[in-house]
Structure 1
Amino acid sequence: MFVGFGKPVLASPADEPPGITFFKGSWKEVLAEAKRQNKPIFLDVSTSWCPPCKRMAKEAFPNARVGAKFNIHFINYQLDAEKGEGIAIAKQYAVASYPTALYITPNGNLIHRSVGYGGVNAMIDQADLILAIPQLKVTLAKGDKEYANGKRNPDFLKRYLNARQTLNRPTSDVLDAYLDALSESERTMPETMLFIADALQSSNTKAFDYLIKNRPSVLDSDLTKQSLARAITGATSRVLDSEFKQACATNDEALLETVIANSERNTVSENPFIGRQDAQKQEAATDYRLKFYKATRNFVKYRAIAGPVAQNQLMSQSVSELQKLDSVSAIRRENNLALLPDSLKRLMPTAFIDNKLPMASLPSWKVARLLHEIASTYLELGTSPTDWDPALTWVERAIVLYHTPEYVSTHASLLNKRLD
């Protein structure tokens, strides 16, 4: 158990810490210092471009209350996830969002993870939570031993899951064991499915498979089933989004492909009565890969996919053809709404029924958005006129289809690149 959790010696206002004091040295030296003082480590993982990181550095780190709390009870350390040792350590602890606060034992084990910045009071409350955890860790250590020895009673597994969640430890193996331990009637109870959805951490689990195979429809007339369907959708989306961010943060292409496959399964599960064409599946996979290679700044692979998409697909239809498709889409929507029974219409938002076709649903808008996205990435990551010339053509088409200040600005920046 960590020392230093007792009542600190009171200091005079002149001696009050001005803010958090961060340890200077290597990660190995931080761990050694934590062992020497027998204190947990507060590790702030950030990046130079992250706005919440900058706000936390400006507001919280210089704050005297935060400094008094953290300097007494923790060894404080900072890392940039994109520089030096920070790259490997962020990968080791699967950091995918910034800022991420990691609370770590002197031997390097993760105690707790917190993502984002909620203000000075939230940081202090978080520290108090961590300082109370040793008592919980005793309970969890007993659960670890019983689980390792094969205890699989559903009540025990549920308590054990709750304890692991409180410490932000992985739960996927325990959640699958809990699902296996339940009877079929227990598995299908709404409260059980809600619990599984809340504890879900991975798309490569029995729990994820069970949820997508047994989710009710959000259009079900039963309000309980509607609510459950929304909860499952939220959980599966949360997990897939987290895994995609982790793939980007760790440059893990194998995890990316897993996310693509499981995202497709999730989409089919959400819309079981709408057949997915191969072109739709390919479009979704391409979108994931483009976002991944942009995030990892792998322009060679990004360009290999994006260039043909922009030139051979998005530019293949003329402006007049796309405008005709806009009209067809609007007519089709009106016809489809007319065919819906009143019972289903009552379940839809009034705005959806009354409003005209949203801009984001127009074929021309989608083409313009994608052309601009690709052109702006070529602007950001490209290195020569070979990249900027086609990007100029693409953004010019985007402006014709959907004129916005953002698109015009990208066009101007590309022109400047060509003149430099």
Structure 2
Amino acid sequence: MTRMKWIGTLLIWCCFSSVVQAQPSQGVNFHDNESWSSILKLASDQDKLIFVDCYTTWCGPCKALAKEVFPLKAVGDYFNEHFINVRYDMEKGDGKMLHDRYKKNIIGFPTLLFIDKTGKVVQQMAGFQDVEKLIAGAKKAFTGRDLFTLDKEYRQGNRDFKFLCEYMASLEGAFLKDSAAHVAQEYLAKARPEELDKDEIWKAFGSYVTDVDSPAFEYLVNNIARYGYKLNRDRFRIARQLEASCTRELKRIFDIKYDEENGKFLPLSTDTIRAEKLVGFMSRASLPGLDDYRMRLYVHKLLLKDQLGKAWDAILVGMNAQMTGFYALNVEKYIRYMASRTGDKKVLKSYLAVLNRFLNTPKEANFAFEMYKTMAEINEKLGNKQLAKEQMERYQQENEKARKAVESFFKRG
């Protein structure tokens, strides 16, 4: 290559490089942590909505949005044309002020707010959003089909199916799960359970069939196999959904509660008919955990009858079979309850033996400080006063350590 050709090539490359560098970013062009008053003025001057990315430096989904979504051309094209885009660290500067001002809208991080030039929130979204959902949410804000407009329509009585789907999508995008569940369950309460067979109904409301007392729930229990084999629905996801609803209610029934203020156990739930119905649902739908909850129901009935010996035998069977409801923390609660209702030294010593075994098993030792308290109470009944005192002191020390660890964690957050 001659000297002149080389110089010419170099000049062309330099010019090309300058053009490339001069081009604006393809993604969203953000004002970064600028004064809020200047952003409001800019929105007023340009007559645009403000898009606010509310983030924190420690938030993983915030970083993913910033790295994977905001730089994309499709996102930049829409947001740069229609909004004043700004991002704020919610833990410093004007970000802290905005967090306090809009705390009812900021339910977690990231939260994405669309705010008008007067400072009023017109649309909110939360959590990581893929490109399609993010742009769809932005379009709703821009076209006046924002969450708050839809909420007003809903309160005024609009129950059109297409509208409900639109409203639900906005609620879900804003991470307002309780509100979305309320809308879905109101619809399901008025619809025939067979409506769930329709794809559009299932897609909109299927994941909200969680009320164990509803006809829709029992219908789903009875049809889980057909939904999997004939309707091509995800049977495993449905099973998890049904299991979560049944077990949540069963745990409530089987819970052993202690009144620390008055130093006594509260009465056990006597709602065994309801528990039997729920275990029956689990059996009918072949749900995971069935054997565990059958055993827990059996133990609960024995405790209600004060048949502590039979209950203890059943607990040992569940524990030795490594059933999920008979891990160390649950067994310790059973032991503490039963120890409060017996003075039989042989039985009390058998309880202590199991607690000692837990203390000497590394994977169970995480719950050791709770066990020290129960062991102290049992040793007090056995007349081992000094040992009981030492164990109670150990419990108090470990409990204080745990309290400080939790306190420290939240201070760091």
Q: Same fold (TM over 0.5)?
A: no
Provide TM-score, normalisation by structure 1: 0.43
Q: Please tell me whether Structure 1 or Structure 2 has the larger radius of gyration of its CA atoms.
A: 2
Bigger relative CO (Cα 8 Å, ≥ 6 apart): 1
